[in-house]
Structure 1
Amino acid sequence: MTKQRIRPDGVPKVTGQLTYMTDLTFPNMLYGKVLRSAFPHANIIRLSTDRAEKLPGVKAVITHQDIPGLNGFGIIFPDQPVLCDKRVLYVGDAIAAVAAESIEVATAAIALIEVEYEQLDVLDHPQKSLDPLAPKLRKEGNILHRNGYKKGDAEAAFENCDLIVEETYSVPRQMHTYMETEGGVVVPEADGCITVYMGTQHGFKDRFQLSRILDLQEEKIRIVSSPMGGSFGGKDELNVQPYAALLALKTGRPVKLHQTRQESFVSGIKRHPMEITVKTGVNGDGFLMAHEVKIVADTGPYATLGPAVLDFSIEHAAGPYKIPHVSVDGLSVYTNNAVAGEFRGFGGNQITFALEGQMDRLADLLDMCPIDFRKLNVRGTTDEGPLGQRIVPTSGALDVLNRAEDYLLRERDEPSSPHTKRGKGIAISMHGGGLGYGRLDTAGGRLSLTNKGKIEISFGFEECGQGILAVIEEILTTEIGCSEEDIQVVIGDTDRVPLSGSTTASRGTSMVWHAVKRMKGTFKQDMISLAARRTNRPEEKLYLGKGGVYEGRERIISYIELGEAESLPTVTTTFNFPTTPDAVDSGHYLYTFSMTFSEVEVDLLTGQIKIICLDQVISAGPVVNERGYKGQIEGGGVMALGYAVMEDAHMVEGYYTKENLDKYMIPTITDVPFSMGVEPIEQLPEGDEHGPRGVGEIGTIAVAPSIVKAIHDATGVWVNQLPVSPLALLQEMERRKEPWTVQ
């Protein structure tokens, strides 16, 4: 591991000094509010804003008629109306927006807008949507996306299996619960441009989408998006930017729009709920022979990145295992539930819960150690990827498995009371980084010397809490040889940075590493040449160091002095994130691996589950920043703990059964396990030229199945639905009537 390094943004964040976009204020600023639908599915019969417009302090009310360009947004498919005109498809649909002198007046004005609805049948489950008699949410029907993968002949292979396990797994809708809810300020500029100060994971794509909505040239829209208080995929899509922008342009004044937690809950995208039916067969020696998977995803009423999430689940359906016969079919189905889209793990969490559940059940029936069973079937260093594509050689799967036994053999603590029981479990995962083959995945960066003597590095992505600033700082100072004080990092501002892709898909660290590797040689040479000209020293003896350029141990010129030159070095690079050379749609090339060890304590009287230990072994190449690495894995683990045992943004007939954090439970400090170890495996196969991989998602993937296996170890009960229900667990223990069950 590298030396400990304090995050550049660490002190201002923990002291509360840092300013997020939602903290900004501007002179003459107005406050915005959005009116959302009262029903999950209805026709709009009449809309009147007269009373709202007459309220003192109201400066603008907008409806669909005020949109000069495209009334739609969506990263891939712009199918979500900015403001609905004829029909609403979920309770988060926007119908009108208001700008007023105060937030109180804006809230009052929203209540005065009159909407007459004709309620329609609500499709609150994919099976309802798939009914041939169901109303169509789209002209083409209720299926957003269908995809699959086949290898060999699974149906025939099952005939020759000695043991088959078939199970249906259900996973919930999860809320991102970022600290900073959606919002910020849009400022109209004197030259007809606008500046959008709002958190996002992709400023340039926001700019493109807003240009279509506002009928405004992209160059007239500036997106300032860093720093922001969390995202986890939830701000990858436009949210309230269009409303604040439309209101700002209509009033000619800055407009601040900041959603409450309840507004965020209702309108924000969520993790895809899925039902996954899996049939897996082995021969008598324990070798996997056949694997059949059927995935049905509830994508809500709009597309966002639903197709890509389903494709990712399909790709990872067989995970890190060698299975000769595979058949995977997936459906992403429109409903009147919440919009489901991108979320940390991007479909990998859902499918890994099902896959690892199968592995544990098979090992149990075969009376094999779950580690030995996995080792028997895990992929080798040069084996093909899960879609049959070539991938970078990696021993990551076996590497993390080889550490599992040491964790399982740890001495088990005694239960805390006579009516509790403890159990242990492990699970592994394989996770592709980047967007995959056939997806636009631009990368790049810019390295330059400023006239103030700073080595400036610029990227077109955002800081959303993941610690990317520390990663950039570590890589740049290591590769250039300068100090932290010598550099200046610029990100998250479309007017100041090059286009270099989004803050998504665990690509940040890898992209920075590749970009710096491409730029450093030319930049260092240009800097040395400039120094040689200004000092009359021979280039071949000069090198970059802390504070300036050196010859031997002598600093011959500082970076500040170099910055006084008329022409300063600037190097830019543009490239595509590494993808498989095989034409396999969405297939990935760089993968990370994890082994998660969980220990739980189950209360046999209440069914309550306490996570005692959550340790992870991660194979993702060299560690760039130790604290950041651990923070990503620990934070991801806690988020996944919530997914496993408490979080469910449950909906009934298109309405949330809970709309705020007083009822929607997320992990707090009291839920964090006492032990949360992070063990990195840094070595890569000889000849690997791809450096460190990102770890933003891998720490979330295998947590739920490891916890569920630990629950089985403690109680003998297999769980197939998340979050684990204490009541269902009690009922199953009672049904089984194990000797230790409390009567």
Structure 2
Amino acid sequence: MAKKIRPDGKEKVTGRLKYLTDLAFSNMLYGKILRSPYPHARILSISTDKARQLPGVQAVITHKDVPGLNGFGIVTPDQPVLCKDIVRYVGDAVAAVAADSVETATRALELIHVQYAPLPVLDSPEKALEEGAPLLHPNGNVLHRAGFQKGDIESEFAKCAAIVEETYHVPRQLHAYMETEGGVIVPEKDGSLTVYVGTQHGFKDRFQLARILGMPEEHIRVVSSPMGGSFGGKDELNIQPYGALLALSTGKPVKIHQTRQESIRSSIKRHPMKITMKTGIDQDGRLRAHQTTIVADTGAYATLGPAILDFAVEHTSGPYMIPAVDTKGISVFTNNGVSGEFRGFGGNQVTFALEGQIDRLAAAIGMDSVEMRRLNIRREHDLGPLGQQIAETNGALDVLQSAAAVYAEKKPSSQNQDRWKRTGTGMAITMHGGGLGFGRMDPAGGRLSLKEDGKIEISFGFEEAGQGILAVIETITTEQLGCAKEDISIMIGDTSLVPSSGSTTASRGTSMVWHSLQRLKKPFLQKLLTRAARKTGTKEGQLSIGPGGIWENGECRLSFRELASEQAPIVISTQFDFPVSPDPIDSAHFLYTYSGVVAQVEVDLLTGRINVTELHQSLSAGPVVNEMGYLGQIEGGGVMALGYTLMEDVIMADGHYVTENLDSYLIPGIKDVPFNLQVKAVESLPAEDDYGPRGVGEIGTIAVAPAIANAIYDAVGLRVSQLPVKPETVLKSTEERGVLHGSQSSNSGGN
């Protein structure tokens, strides 16, 4: 793995890079959005007269000012842009203003009078599913049901020597990106609109905005890069409709940049879930039956809730082969904040539960948990978790063996205890599907062009969200073409200049760049060499592409600039779909990555505080394209998951956010990062594999929570079933079992 400097690295670390929220234009106005103070209420009236009369206010809009579809949603447009008669959560928008200053816009919101009639609040899936509960949407309070069955579940349970049944609770998590939602929307002189707003899918935003604004898509340009973080949170529209409506209303650029408090109130979060698992094992250590029920709180609107539930259902059995599986999932509308896409896409929640089951089962029959995993692990020629054909790989076994070696090395140190602290080591493994899955529109593509200035331009419809996609594009392009990085220019994140390449989601970016270059390079190089042969009078077979231009016998004969001097451009494009299983199983994935995680923790018996001292991740995702980017994704994902495990929970009560800002929401700081943070890449793939490197944007987050949970059990005997693990939970457990006084061994005890 060669270390390479990121193309955007210097600008970012020096602060010279301008994000889209840094942009400013002449005559620019400032927008603010009025959101509901109630989680559920009927709107009786909206009065904007006083706000319109405030000096400096240029526009005030309500639902009456939406010319097209008053709704958005990346799949189902069920969320009103501006609510007309009902509000369903405290982030619902009712009005928006544009003014000469942020202060004036803020004051204008205070002058808008909305009369509400509060309605009953459904602040949990259980309440929403009660008979007689008010219906939040015309089709009821169930957004989506999903399930999977194979084998005779009752017959297999009858063969089990031990059965473990447990209910796991996982929290609502904040994306906590550094740059909150925002940007500038500019009305152009020709009647078109330019939208400078961070998003993960510029073309999908353009499609949605066209419906809302009642204007052709080609009249809307979306510039979506760079942005300061997303992790899934900016895959859905956020401030774009309001800025666009205000810009068109005033004829001036409008900037909206949400405060952190506004962001928490309105942004999507990771789905809270209640997961009940009943899993059985025979005396030899073979998993026989696995039954799961998932209840997801999707909040007030759909966004990607159905797909996330489907993904969770698919991954409930993880990298294990189990004869009988029965999984049922339900995603429920509530009056809580909207849950949506988040790094891991439902895999984090079910993996925490599954790996907790595995360690509990191993203990129940007195078997080593590593050996039990090895006995049940998915092998190279096995089918996928939904019975579908998948890309063959021994990735699951590879990461297990790698993690097992680390676990064997670190486990003895768990015995090094002192009076006030206990050390524990735990492990977990997982698999994660890349792409959107069978039956989902998942287009990809790219374009290579030789520009007039001699630069080879590589274009994709991807967005740069801090994930390092520019370095991936640079590395793959130069390696595949044989040119130098100075020879290329990268164009992404601008719908007017790039081809539609699908979303910057689902760990698909690296894979799609690689697949695109496989299709583009041969015809592109052929055209370059044909032109070069004509210009030099040399046979094509004697020429090759190299740094700076066309080479012959170790010398550069023709620069790319000289080659581009002819008027006829050289442009090669490709369009294709992300690889999917040949089996027509809805939402099933084909390309998987695998991870094995070992965590070591130190538990303070006086405070209950848990310190993760070591975190080791072994990944099987094919060849590493860029080492710095690879390490950044896995290390960063691991720290994000550490926060999910030990401290992060966006608390809601009665449909209101108790957590309103980062002053009451803890995320990991530099002192929380394990002092020993290790990443091992397992790069081997079967010789016949034609699918290249897989993306690693999500896999580093998924198995960390169960590894830490298993380490906590090793340290103090506490079986974790709810995240985040709070110090008071640890203290209560250790006190009840006398761990502090030494009356019970550290690795014994129950729930």
State the Cα deviation string for residues 351-374 of structure 1 (Å, max 9, x = none).
000000000101111221111010
Confirm whether residue 538 of structure 1 aligns to residue 539 of structure 2. Answer: yes
Whether contact under 8 Å (1:482, 1:547) holds in the other structure is yes
Partner of 2:749: none
Partner of 1:570: 571
Distance of 1:329 and 1:512 partners within structure 2: 36
Partner of 1:262: 261
- What secondary structure is seen at the aligned counterpart in 1 of 2:398? helix
Distance of 1:65 and 1:416 partners within structure 2: 67
- What secondary structure is seen at the aligned counterpart in 2 of 1:281? strand
Partner of 1:525: 526
Partner of 2:116: 117
Whether contact under 8 Å (2:6, 2:471) holds in the other structure is yes
Distance of 1:524 and 1:471 partners within structure 2: 20
Give how far 1:399 is off: 0.3
Whether contact under 8 Å (1:232, 1:343) holds in the other structure is yes
Whether contact under 8 Å (1:604, 1:741) holds in the other structure is no
Partner of 1:579: 580
Partner of 1:73: 72
State the Cα deviation string for residues 79-130 of structure 1 (Å, max 9, x = none).
0000001010000000000000000100010111101111111000000000
Distance of 1:139 and 1:559 partners within structure 2: 60
State the Cα deviation string for residues 222-266 of structure 1 (Å, max 9, x = none).
000001000000000000000000000000000000000000000
Partner of 1:219: 218
Confirm whether residue 420 of structure 1 aligns to residue 421 of structure 2. Answer: yes
Partner of 2:599: 598
Whether contact under 8 Å (2:403, 2:617) holds in the other structure is no
Aligned amino acid, residue 496 of structure 1: L
Whether contact under 8 Å (2:38, 2:87) holds in the other structure is yes
Distance of 1:706 and 1:166 partners within structure 2: 19
Give the TM-score, by structure 1 length. 0.99
Aligned amino acid, residue 130 of structure 1: L
Aligned amino acid, residue 450 of structure 1: K
Whether contact under 8 Å (2:414, 2:714) holds in the other structure is no
Give how far 1:157 is off: 1.7
Task: Spell out the pairing of 1:124-523 with structure 2 (5 A cutoff).
Answer: 124-411=123-410, 412=413, 418-523=419-524
Give how far 1:414 is off: 7.9
Distance of 2:497 and 2:403 partners within structure 1: 46
Change (3 A) 1:603 1:739: closer
Aligned residue pairs, count:
742
Distance of 1:655 and 1:154 partners within structure 2: 41
Distance of 1:125 and 1:581 partners within structure 2: 39
State the Cα deviation string for residues 453-511 of structure 1 (Å, max 9, x = none).
00000001101000000000000000101001000000000000001101000000000
Give how far 1:143 is off: 0.2
Partner of 2:747: none
Distance of 1:177 and 1:71 partners within structure 2: 28
Give how far 1:725 is off: 1.3
Distance of 2:737 and 2:143 partners within structure 1: 41
Give how far 1:420 is off: 0.6
Give how far 1:162 is off: 1.2
Give how far 1:738 is off: 3.7
Give how far 1:160 is off: 2.1
Aligned amino acid, residue 652 of structure 2: M
Whether contact under 8 Å (1:145, 1:332) holds in the other structure is yes
Aligned amino acid, residue 528 of structure 1: L
Give how far 1:155 is off: 2.3
Partner of 1:92: 91
Distance of 1:681 and 1:474 partners within structure 2: 19
- What secondary structure is seen at the aligned counterpart in 1 of 2:155? helix
Distance of 1:396 and 1:627 partners within structure 2: 22
- What secondary structure is seen at the aligned counterpart in 2 of 1:249? helix
Give the TM-score, by structure 2 length. 0.98
Whether contact under 8 Å (1:179, 1:230) holds in the other structure is yes
Partner of 1:675: 676
Distance of 1:609 and 1:38 partners within structure 2: 37
Distance of 1:353 and 1:256 partners within structure 2: 41
Distance of 2:169 and 2:714 partners within structure 1: 21
Distance of 1:376 and 1:644 partners within structure 2: 28
- What secondary structure is seen at the aligned counterpart in 1 of 2:180? coil
Give how far 1:299 is off: 0.0
Distance of 1:701 and 1:172 partners within structure 2: 14
Aligned amino acid, residue 267 of structure 1: S
State the Cα deviation string for residues 340-387 of structure 1 (Å, max 9, x = none).
000000000000000000001011112211110100111110100000
Moved more, 449-458 or 529-538: 529-538
Whether contact under 8 Å (1:435, 1:505) holds in the other structure is yes
State the Cα deviation string for residues 280-310 of structure 1 (Å, max 9, x = none).
0011111000000000000001000000000
Give how far 1:742 is off: 9.0
Whether contact under 8 Å (1:21, 1:198) holds in the other structure is yes
Distance of 1:416 and 1:464 partners within structure 2: 43
Whether contact under 8 Å (2:734, 2:740) holds in the other structure is no
Distance of 1:625 and 1:385 partners within structure 2: 28
Distance of 2:80 and 2:414 partners within structure 1: 55
Change (3 A) 1:741 1:188: farther
Whether contact under 8 Å (2:420, 2:740) holds in the other structure is no
Whether contact under 8 Å (1:390, 1:580) holds in the other structure is yes
Moved more, 446-455 or 417-426: 417-426
Distance of 2:282 and 2:404 partners within structure 1: 24
Distance of 2:232 and 2:44 partners within structure 1: 35
Whether contact under 8 Å (2:533, 2:540) holds in the other structure is yes
Whether contact under 8 Å (1:733, 1:741) holds in the other structure is no
Distance of 1:459 and 1:706 partners within structure 2: 37
- What secondary structure is seen at the aligned counterpart in 2 of 1:713? helix
Distance of 1:91 and 1:471 partners within structure 2: 40
Change (3 A) 1:252 1:314: same
Distance of 1:271 and 1:578 partners within structure 2: 27
Question: Gaps (5+ residues) in structure 2?
Answer: 745-751
State the Cα deviation string for residues 435-470 of structure 1 (Å, max 9, x = none).
000000001000010001000000011010000000
Distance of 1:416 and 1:121 partners within structure 2: 52
Give how far 1:737 is off: 2.7
Q: RMSD of aligned C-alpha atoms?
A: 1.1
| Percent of aligned positions that are identical | 62
Change (3 A) 1:413 1:583: closer
Aligned amino acid, residue 206 of structure 2: R
Distance of 1:618 and 1:448 partners within structure 2: 35
Give how far 1:740 is off: 4.4
Give how far 1:599 is off: 0.3
Aligned amino acid, residue 717 of structure 1: L
Whether contact under 8 Å (1:443, 1:511) holds in the other structure is yes
Aligned amino acid, residue 168 of structure 1: T
Distance of 2:278 and 2:332 partners within structure 1: 22
Partner of 2:748: none
- What secondary structure is seen at the aligned counterpart in 2 of 1:677? strand
Whether contact under 8 Å (1:604, 1:742) holds in the other structure is no
- What secondary structure is seen at the aligned counterpart in 2 of 1:676? strand
Aligned amino acid, residue 300 of structure 1: G
Distance of 1:81 and 1:580 partners within structure 2: 36
Partner of 2:617: 616
Distance of 1:622 and 1:248 partners within structure 2: 46
Distance of 1:704 and 1:256 partners within structure 2: 39
Aligned amino acid, residue 449 of structure 1: L
Aligned amino acid, residue 699 of structure 1: G
Partner of 2:709: 708
Task: Spell out the pairing of 1:704-743 with structure 2 (5 A cutoff).
Answer: 704-738=705-739, 740=741
Confirm whether residue 690 of structure 1 aligns to residue 705 of structure 2. Answer: no
Moved more, 406-415 or 83-92: 406-415
Whether contact under 8 Å (2:737, 2:743) holds in the other structure is no
Question: Gaps (5+ residues) in structure 1?
Answer: none
